[in-house]
Amino acid sequence: MTRNVGVFHPGTQHSWQTARALQNAGRLGWYATSIFYRANRWPYRALPYLPAKLRERLTAEFGRFYHPAVAPDTVRTFGLHEWIERGLTRAGLRRAAARVNMAGNSVFAKSVCRLIEREPVAAVWGYDTSSADVFAFAKQRGIVRILDKTIGDPRVYNALMKEIYAEYKPFFSSPNFAVPQAVIDIQDKEYDLADGIVVGSDFCRDTILDPLARPDLAGKIDVLPYCFDDVFFKPGPPPLRPKDRPVRFLFLGQAGPRKGIHLLLKAFARLPRNAATLTIVGQMQVPGATFRQYADLVTLIPTVPRAAVADYLREADCLVFPTYFEGSPITIYEALACGCAIIQSKNSNLDAIPKSGLALERLDEESVHAALMYVIDNRDILQAWQQAAPPIAEGFTVAAYQKAVLDYLDKILGTKG
């Protein structure tokens, strides 16, 4: 009987890492997703014929769905909803994108269920908000169900962000920031149907077990730290940089209130003008009228392909990540691999701390400002953090993640088999 695993996700997150780890171990049945860039396949092969600006933008977008280490013959793609959702998100229509996402997840799940019938597996590995229907189908067939929870519980998120909204309303694109009850119900169903739940950090686990959420799930949850992509991010010692130049700070990812972008912008605006630079690489999720107050102080780079992210990290001195709510951002592991120091919140993985950075004791403007100034005023410490970063990253390779995944599978399949 097969002991292979089917991995499915209508988007990406770190599903490609899980698929690759299983593939390397000879345990991947298939990897089901909506978008997987292959230059010789439709519609990607049409890119060379598009106008230059549009071609450049689409190439950058598709580049985020390019995983050269995942064998194309293991990939099964279906569903147009993800394409539509991406377009709406890039246009800033996030509520419409969320509705398309929910509808698309349902259609995607039906396709995965048909795939299970055609290509049976011993276990399915799915991700939050897109796994409930597949898990129900798999349970009827005695297939083990693993839920990969990529971010903390939405009930805790809603309570936390309600306080942030009250203080920083101008930084929110909409007052409708809360996760709807319908989505919470889906996640509860996924919790209940899963044989096991894996998360990337202690913080993520603790939000699920919070009294506001599902403390009854303590026996189901395991922490499996994620890894960085060693195809694009190869650890190596960073160069020793001049200590008299401005410090190069970098923010990477969705630049919205959940990630604490308002704290960073406000804190950075208070720095001496020649002391530092700030580059933001990712989608700006702050209203234009609010961001314009800070636009002249920072360099904003739209979303780039994964292959290009490493260049920005290698040029930076310090990644700043004052997030309120996470699962386990791979960005931190990527930054370590590239020799970047880290300023981060405690609401995340803490593997960089204390050897390669600092964790903010509180999430407020004063704490972020003090952390930025500490780095500016202590270049020897910054340099030591940078040199310590790549060796830390060596503990979070694909090989390390693969071992953790296989050990977990042995445990859960043994328990269920």
Instruction: Kindly report the average pLDDT of the chain as a whole number.
Output: 88
Torsion angles phi and psi, residue 338, rounded to 5 = -90, 5
140's CB contacts (< 8 A; 6+ apart) are none
Q: Which residue has the tokens 């049409």?
A: 46
In the predicted model, is pLDDT for residue 92 greater than 80? no
Half-sphere exposure of 193 (CA within 13 A, CB side): 30
Q: Which residue has the tokens 């942030």?
A: 164
Mapped onto helix, strand or coil, the DSSP state of residue 399 is: helix
Q: Between 99 and 294, whose confidence is greater?
A: 294
Amino acid type, 44? Y
Taking only the tens place, the pLDDT of each residue in 51-85 is: 766 555 555 555 555 566 778 889 888 865 544 44
* pTM listed for this prediction: 0.87
For residue 124 the two structure tokens come to: 């399915």
Neighbour tally for 315: CB within 10 Å? 12
Q: Please report which confidence band the pLDDT of residue 234 belongs to, taking 50, 70 and 90 as the band edges.
A: confident
Taking only the tens place, the pLDDT of each residue in 280-321 is: 999 999 999 999 999 999 999 987 877 789 999 999 999 999
Torsion angles phi and psi, residue 298, rounded to 5 = -130, 165
The C-alpha angle with vertex 320 and arms to 315 and 322, in degrees rounded to 5, equals: 165
Domains of the chain, by residue range, sit at 5-227+397-416, 247-395
In the predicted model, is pLDDT for residue 263 greater than 50? yes
Q: Please report which confidence band the pLDDT of residue 2 belongs to, taking 50, 70 and 90 as the band edges.
A: low
For residue 215 the two structure tokens come to: 């403390």
Quickly list DSSP for 156-208.
HHHHHHHHHHHH-GGG-S-S--SPPHHHHHHHHHHHHH-SEEEESSHHHHHHH
Out of 100-109, 125-134, 382-391, least confident range = 100-109
Residue 40 CA: distances (Å) to CA of 36, 44, 47: 12, 7, 10
Q: Does domain 5-227+397-416 have CATH number 3.40.50.300?
A: no
End-to-end Cα spacing for the chain: 12
Q: Averaged over 240-261, what is the pLDDT?
A: 94
- What pLDDT does residue 332 have? 96
In the predicted model, is pLDDT for residue 158 greater than 70? yes
Strand partners, 222: 198
Tell me the C-alpha distance between 15 and 250, whole Å: 25
Residue 328 CA: distances (Å) to CA of 7, 115, 192, 217, 324: 19, 29, 22, 19, 12
Taking only the tens place, the pLDDT of each residue in 366-415 is: 999 999 999 999 999 999 999 999 999 999 999 999 999 999 999 999 86
Q: Averaged over 1-20, what is the pLDDT?
A: 85
Amino acid type, 205? R
**Cα 376 off chain centre by:** 28
Taking only the tens place, the pLDDT of each residue in 342-375 is: 999 999 999 999 999 999 989 999 999 999 999 9
For residue 13 the two structure tokens come to: 């997150």
> Domain 247-395, what fold?
Rossmann fold (3.40.50)
**Pair 366, 352: CB distance under 8 Å:** no
- What pLDDT does residue 3 have? 80
For residue 96 the two structure tokens come to: 């419409």
Out of 93-107, 122-136, 344-358, least confident range = 93-107
Same fold flag, 5-227+397-416 and 247-395: yes
